[in-house]
Structure formats: structure tokens, C-alpha cells
Amino acid sequence: MSIIHYGESRILSEKLDRTSRLSALQYTKPVHIIIREVAITQNHLAGQPAPRELLVNIPRLVSAYYTNHPDPNNPAQQVSFGTSGHRGTSSEGSFNEDHVMAICQALCEYRRQQGITGPIFIGKDTHALSEPAEATSIEVFAGNGIETRIQSGRGYTPTPVISHAILTYNRGRTGGLADGVVITPSHNPPEDGGFKYNPPTAGPAGPEITNVIQGRANEIMRDGLKEVKRISYERALIVGTTRDYDYLMPYVKDLINVVNLEGIAKEGIRIGIDPMGGAAAGYWDIIADTYGLDLTVVNRLIDPTFSFMTVDHDGKIRMDCSSPYAMASLIRLKDRFDIAFGNDPDVDRHGIVSPSAGLMNPNHYLAVAIWYLFQHRPGWRSDAKVGKTLVSSSMIDRVTKALGRTVAEVPVGFKWFVDGLIDGSYGFGGEESAGASFLRKDGTVWTTDKDGIILNLLAAEMTATTGNDPGEHYQVLTEQFGNPVYERIDAPANSAQKAILKGLSPENVEANTLAGEKIVAKLTRAPSNNAPIGGLKVITENCWFAARPSGTEDIYKIYAESFISDDHLHRVLEEAQSMVSAAFKAAGV
């Protein structure tokens, strides 16, 4: 097991090949900041171009989508909506045509129950299974008489563009509202498929919605799909309810209202972008042409095997724009540009590469974005809050306090920011996993789903406006607010232990100190909205940890941060595990 300190000029792993990878991962200005520390098993291919033997067999994958039929009584093959929709792979019977048919039929029934009668906007990313899943969706929606909007020319559509389209359509309406789906497994490996639903609020559907759709979809599968209404793809494309729609230009033309693109063009900021073979590949040239930006797309390939990728830390191909291994190709080019960035396949995440800092840790960029935005958006409400998830860095809290603003800390999941972004009470909402959105310049809603495009362009805006790149801005923040050290680890836990952790109350934690500091808060509900966090968070003046059970594996996740030192962080993690173990022991599990 190697401990990799992402983002430092030093890489603490003897397994790394220094000559081939250090140049891609190092920072030009060595600074005493441990940006992200994750316990991982280091694969010898990490950061290297993907070898042919790693590439997925696309014909076999697509064939399995149609020919493999999941067992509706096998939990591993049932429809299961997590925080980011239903995901799986056709070869394992977890993402097949049966799933998509059942989900779409259940969604049609849900729409009727809720009185949602406007069009449903469909988007898809560049994963191999997204194309057949889109076809299945169109067939079922047409069979149910649902008014459907699909990208003209069967192109790809980013998640934030679907959110933008829904909000644009629904603006000023009280009835006949639109909703949408995005067919994507996000940054998951090439063999995966995924399906997300966005209700008329245009953000991720919460469990009060997805549990209904999931339950009904599994019923439909158990009943042999007999209740699915479906017509052929050829007929579905020509019926009056299915219409082509231009998602791209309305979104691109509206970007001027959320980012200072004139300033970027005026200063001649040299921008590099790697779409990582995703749905934004066709957007960046049009954005550059529309606004006169000096923007270079360094990789234009769209290939469902994602053969152009460098391998992630665990030896898998994964389009994770916050991973220095997956982003190695762009990091190597950082000195060619004033700012560079990447996106995952559905473009709801961002990865920022600056000359001063290389690939920025997501927590650090969120803090910089907040610091900049709340000083350069006079059209926002004076009481607009900063939305953050409970596992995001406390650097955000310190920055927000200095700005005279209020932090709204919510459970994990972007859905918790939706209402605040809609009414303008949240100026910004962000997650530690590199997903965020913010308001238009006039303080009204832009998107209620994560938007990797505007977070990328914001990095160029702040570089143009201030003359300093985001990495330099973060260094200034550390001098003012301290140098946090952040880590996430996994620990084993069986199903009974995970249930105990999910249902903990503050009284279950007897400790009064954490790593030598007085505990000031023990949270099992989010401070902002009192919603259950599905775990525990313990806070002191200079450190915190949060423990949450995994929904898919027999582990629980511990997130921790210290503003004191690396050694102090390790002490926090040790005591966190002891506290959780004590809770398990007290419960007899």
C-alpha cells in the first residue's frame, strides 16, 4: 500500500517511475502543502498511456447490452439509484436494455402521477453504452406518448447543458414543466453505463424520487417487462412527439451571463483544454469562436474505448479529471498555457491545471473560486450563502467567514444545493469531488446541476482579472488562513456495522477530545438543513473527521483534515477509527 500525496512536488511512492512520471505530476513551485492524501494500491501503469490489452471490447459490450438479461431477484442486477443515478455494465448484467426499459417506463408513470406534462430533454455522453441506452429510452418515451427532445444529429450533450435547457424552458411557467435524463456513468471506466434523472428543478433527483422510480422499475423487471410500452426506433424518431433540439448554441450564447468572457478575450489568456473524449468535445471550439478566446483543444478524439487516456492509480482507464494519473497528458503541457483544464465525459466535473501548481486539488480550487466570486459578483444578493458538503475542506469555512458570508453545510449530494441556487440564496454550491455551480452575474440561477464548463472558464476569468492563476491564489489563502492537510481512507465494515454508523446519534460518541483538541461539535445531521448525514462528523477548532458507510462495498469512508500538521492528521484518523469502533462495540456489532 503506497501513500500518494497528490499535488506536491514530492511523490511519496517508491513504485513510481521517476523518469516517466515525475515530470507530469510535479509542481513548478515547491510549496509545503499536502494537497490530497489517499491510501491506494499503486499500479505500475499509473500515469502511462493505456495499453491495448486494457481496452474494452466494444462490440461484445454492446451485444451484451441486448443479449444479457439481468436476474430481477439478484440485488447486484437490480435497478439501484445511488447519488448519481443507476450505474453498471452490460457484461455483468447490471446495465442492460431490460434496466433501461424498466427505468423509462417507471419514469413515464412517475411523470403522470406528478402531473409533469412538458417535454423530457435527453442527453448522453460518449460511453459506449450511452448510445444504445439512448435509443431504448427514445423508444419507450415515444411508446408512452411523451414529448421528447433529442440533440440534433444524435450528438452528445453535457449534464449541465440539460440542466440549463430544463431551467430555460421552465422559466416563467407554472404548468407543462419539462424535466430531463442524462445517460452517463460520469467518470466511470469505459465499460460502464449510467442513467440519471433530473426533475423540473433541473438538478439531481433526490431519494424521494429515485426510490419510487427504482422500486417500480424492479417491479416491472420482475413481471417480465410486460408493462413496458415501446415502439421501434425507426418509428420513434418520426412520431410527432420526438423532436430534434439544439442544446449547444442556446447554452453557449448564454455563457456571457455567467462568466466574464470578454475579460478573458481582452487579456489574451492562453487556454488549454482536454475534453477527455467527453460530451464537451464539440463545445469548446464553438465557445472559442463565439467569444474570441485563445483556446487550444489538445485532444479532439472521441473513442468509446478511451484508448487515448493515461491509466489511473489502480490500473484502470477512468476519465477522472481530478486524478493526476488520468490527467497526466494535460499536466505535461501546463507550461504551454496560462491556464488549462479538463472535464469528465458528462462534463459535470472540472480539473484545473495552473502553471504555478499543476493539477489543483478540488478542495483548493473550490476555496479559490469562492474567494474570487464573492468579491467579483456585485449582482448577487448580499446574503447569498456558500453551499458546501460536510466532507469538503474547512478552508472554505475560513474563507467564507473572512468574506462576511455564511456557510450552508449540507449532506453529500448536489441535490441539496438545488433550492438555494434556484432562489439565489446560495451564490455557490460545491462538492469536494470536483463538482460545482454558481449563479449568473445578476444573481439568478444558471444550472442546478454541476457545471464543469463554467468552473473551467472561471479559472481563466480570475487569471485574466487578477493576473494570478488559481494556484497562486490558493497559496495566498494558505498564508492567510493556514495550510490544511486533507485525507480520505477506507476501513472495513460489515452490513450491521454500516447500519449502526448510518444511524448514529451524537450521544453515541463519548469522547470529548480529538487529537488533543476539545471537540466543539458532534454532528449526525447537517448544520444547514438538519438533514441526516448518514454518518458522523466530529469537529474541533483545527481539525475534523467525518465517517460515512459505503452504499456499495463493505467499507466505511473516513474523511479528515488538520490545519496543524501531517502527523496531527494521522492522529485524527487513528482516533476517528477508534471512536467508530467504540460505537460498533457499544452496539454489539
Task: Tell me the residue ranges of DSSP E strands in 457-501.
Answer: 485-492
CB 293 within 8 A of CB 492: no
Check if the beta carbon of residue 333 is closer than 8 Å to that of residue 204: no
List, in sequence order, every beta strand (DSSP E) within 414-550: 426-431, 435-438, 485-492, 513-514, 517-518, 521-525, 532-539, 543-549
DSSP element (H, E) containing 339: strand 339-343
Quick count: other Cβ atoms within 10 Å of Cβ 326? Answer: 30
The C-alpha atoms of residue 440 and residue 256 are separated, in whole angstroms, by 9
Distance CA 425, CA 429 (A): 11
Contacts of residue 208, defined as CB under 8 A and 6 or more positions apart, other chains included, come to none
Task: Report yes or no: 498 and 307 within 8 Å, Cβ to Cβ.
Answer: no
The DSSP bridge pattern shows strands 148-151 and 120-124 to be parallel
Determine which one of 186, 322, 356, 433 is catalytic.
Answer: 186
DSSP element (H, E) containing 274: strand 270-274
**Residues of the chain by 3-state class (helix, strand, coil), percent to 5:** 35, 20, 40
How far is 256 from 497, CA to CA, in rounded Å?
50
> From the CA atom positions of the chain, what is the Rg in Å?
23
Dihedral of alpha carbons 66, 68, 73, 76, sign: negative
**CA 505 – CA 105 distance, rounded (Å):** 39
**Secondary structure element (H or E) that encloses residue 81, with its range:** strand 81-82
Q: Which helix (H) or strand (E) holds 243?
A: strand 242-245
Helices and strands (H, E) in the chain, number of each type: 18, 25
Is 392 part of the annotated catalytic residue set? no
How many CA atoms within 13 Å lie on the side-chain side of 377? 30
Instruction: Kindly state the DSSP code that residue 208 receives in the 8-state scheme.
Output: H
β-pairing, 339-343 with 270-274?
parallel
Catalytic residue numbers? 186
